[in-house]
Chain A
């Protein structure tokens, strides 16, 4: 399975958020690094079909982005998302299961599994509005996994997670990356140090570097800084 982006460009008025980016993602964890405002979120939205590119194409094994069959194999965690106020954590996952097309039986089972997996077992019945930022983020991660996606795209997934939660998240992502295309964006280099198989580095809407994680050497942060051309 390959997710191919071919010279995709997105412009907002006078700012080019993504500038002629081409790359191919295969199974494994790919980390997307870039400072705030580098264009990571726009790129992720383009890959999910939430945004239409001004030029270029995104496809996966012949499926165009935005089609029902593409969405069926996609799991997406946006950077900023909300919840219906009346929902508990469990209600939210059951609702997302319905929108993702899971049968009721599957929805109940997957919800139960994922609630445990993200460590929300004790709070599943509580209203989401009472959750902390980290708990909401974990619930967001759980909803992205509901349909067992083949492509998993996560925008700043570790935002709001405490160190312990980050370990759990990294373990989960490492495992999922074995047989899925996983792309996760962050501006925190240490999030990717131990889990990314490949790296992409963005600056000002352009892909500055892409390659295997090992090519980045031991000190990934120094490598990242050297690629975006900034001094320590």
Chain B
């Protein structure tokens, strides 16, 4: 048998059959309104609210557990060590922000109306706002158990959290991997560093260094915004290129 005959024979055997009940199928589509009905679209506020319910429950659970641990350790009155736990909160924002690319959903989200940028910003905003609010409540509750002013407790809590978030976001941006172990390790290392700080650099927690903590806080907020923005931009463009 020559090649042409084999090809013809294979084509006959392998070709897909003609569609059946085509007319009834199209009628069904028309009846259901699938072909011509344009849906109404939601605004950015509604989108943000809907995204809240798509953030993993474990994120909120872990946040609550960590915040309770910080409060418990503060109540135990063991010096400046509770401040070292706040970098662990950064794990959640980093894991949540990188979720789209980790699970190969980024391309689908990118071509949707609200786009990947909105999805990532919504996650950063929601997890960030809830964690910051939680930390502010903790700061207000534990403040009487320290001899520091409210602003100093705030700085000692927030600077480690922001530092870990910044380092983790830079790492995630530069090393796009299928998991978050790199940034998780960074958060734990930051936590260890701030746990060791009161032991090796106890003077850092003296009142005269409050200005340095304030400057560090402002710089970290600014750098984190820049880093997150670059992370989103690079994920949108560079992943595909």
Chain A positions within 8 Å of B, measured between CB atoms, are: 12, 45, 48-52, 68, 71-72, 74, 76, 78, 80-86, 95-96, 98-104, 106, 110, 113-114, 117, 143, 145, 147-148, 163, 166-167, 170-172, 174-176, 178-179, 190-191, 194, 221, 232
Contact = CB atoms under 8 A, between A and B. Distances in A.
Given A98-B54, A117-B34, A147 B25 contact: no
Given A167-B19, A179-B35, 18 more contacts: A50-B110, A71-B112, A80-B104, A82-B105, A99-B112, A101-B113, A102-B39, A103-B40, A103-B46, A145-B34, A147-B112, A148-B34, A148-B37, A163-B16, A167-B20, A172-B25, A179-B36, A190-B14
Interface residues of B, number: 49
B4 A71 contact: no
B59 to A, nearest CB: 12
Contacts of B115: 68, 71
A195 B7 CA distance: 22
Contacts of B143: none
Contact of A175 (B17, B25, B99): B25
Given A84-B99, A98-B47, A178-B35, A78 B107 contact: yes
Nearest to A165: B16
Given A106-B40, A175-B35, A147 B108 contact: no
Contact of B16 (A83, A148, A170, A178): A170
Contacts of A166: 16
Nearest to B114: A99
B194 to A, nearest CB: 32
Nearest to A175: B26
Contacts of B113: 68, 71-72, 99-101, 147
Given A83-B105, A98-B54, A147-B113, A221 B11 contact: yes
B206 interface: no
Interface string B89-117: 00000000001000111011111111100
A3 to B, nearest CB: 14
Nearest to B116: A99
14 contacts: A12-B241, A68-B115, A78-B108, A84-B99, A95-B54, A98-B42, A98-B50, A101-B112, A102-B42, A106-B39, A106-B40, A114-B34, A147-B112, A190-B11
B51 A98 contact: yes
B19 A101 contact: no
B18 to A, nearest CB: 7
Nearest to B110: A50
Given A100-B113, A106-B40, A167-B19, A76 B47 contact: no
Closest 9 CB pairs of A and B: A82-B104, A101-B41, A106-B39, A101-B113, A99-B112, A98-B50, A76-B111, A171-B19, A100-B112
Nearest to A45: B240
